[in-house]
Homo-oligomer: A and B are copies of this chain.
């Protein structure tokens, strides 16, 4: 089995499986309880958040444990709109954003938000001039997808964030950092975001846990009210097993960063060379090495996907959230990729766990399948 769909989800590290399993069995206490074993667990929670904070470049108090990045993004957008929406009603996003942002914006539009969807340039990036044009004195929030989950294109936060600070000093900035976590080195402090969303299962952690970073003075309304856990920011019984799993995954990813990147860069260079020989077109340059949006013009991505799965090679055409909808990816459409090329697109998302042999097998198999397909079509 060759798994090349790491943007959809990742296989948890064995250390993560062990950590979650041990914690589920043994550390089942409710960390809010008053007796010692529960209080000890609560201290381990604090230590885990401390570790995550130091990896992300922020304070532990600025991290809220959520059930997933989608929840984090919902809390950021809805929480700010609920609190400040009467005075500041404009929310700026980008048409190639993840559905967690776009669907939340659509919902807020029905509650009076003034949603501006920037159209990205053909290279997938936000045009700074378009962003400045969209900013006004009623701008509540700009939400930016750091690394696009379908194209791998990296938004230039170093340029965009200062522009927002300059032209709309009251606006908050939310970063969807799901696909950049552990693929790009960053410090939240230095990025100067107000909020940011993270998911564990995209970095070999468990499903069901994410983070919302919230800079100390940024006060969105909570999305989930109740028993007042996490200082009231996110109620619901504290989930130690999944937090611990996320911590272990993040620590392994941080320790292995240099080796992982070297390996993935080599994978990407190999694919760039070999797939080009097969008449594939890389839809975007300037992407993270892990995410390849490659098009086989004149062919259907879905057909190639199913031919590859016969050989137990698993990849996707677009975001997993959109599969089966039969529609062309909204991301490729937003970037102006011509229909013919969009329909022929595969998303190959690489990981350091992939081996050279796997990629060689992918290339050979793809070559054979493409020949077959092109023969059938001629």
Contact = CB atoms under 8 A, between A and B. Distances in A.
B73 A226 contact: yes
Interface string A266-295: 000000000000000000000000000000
A225 B74 contact: yes
B71 A67 contact: yes
Contact of A24 (B20, B111, B239, B302): B20
B21 A17 contact: yes
Number of copies: 2
Contacts of A229: 321
A103 interface: yes
A132 to B, nearest CB: 28
A71 B70 CA distance: 14
A156 interface: no
A322 interface: yes
Contact of A70 (B9, B199, B207, B236): B236
A34 interface: yes
A237 B68 contact: yes
Given A21-B21, A207-B242, A323 B34 contact: yes
Interface in A81-103: 82, 98-100, 103
Nearest to A227: B321
Contacts of A319: 227
B225 A106 contact: yes
Nearest to A16: B24
Interface in A32-58: 32-38
Contacts of A9: 28-30, 237
Contacts of A38: 314, 320
B33 A10 contact: no
A224 interface: yes
Contact of A314 (B35, B73, B239): B35
B99 A32 contact: no
Interface string A223-239: 11111110000011101
B24 A17 contact: yes
The 8 closest A-B pairs by CB, nearest first: A227-B321, A67-B67, A100-B226, A21-B21, A70-B236, A70-B226, A68-B236, A103-B225
Given A5-B33, A99-B228, A223-B223, 15 more contacts: A10-B28, A12-B24, A20-B21, A21-B21, A28-B201, A33-B320, A34-B306, A35-B314, A38-B314, A70-B227, A74-B226, A100-B227, A100-B235, A208-B239, A227-B319
Interface of A: 5, 8-12, 14, 16-17, 20-21, 24-25, 28-30, 32-38, 67-71, 73-74, 82, 98-100, 103-104, 106-107, 111, 199, 201, 206-209, 221-229, 235-237, 239-242, 302, 305-306, 309, 314, 316-317, 319-324
5 contacts: A32-B320, A35-B306, A67-B208, A71-B236, A201-B237
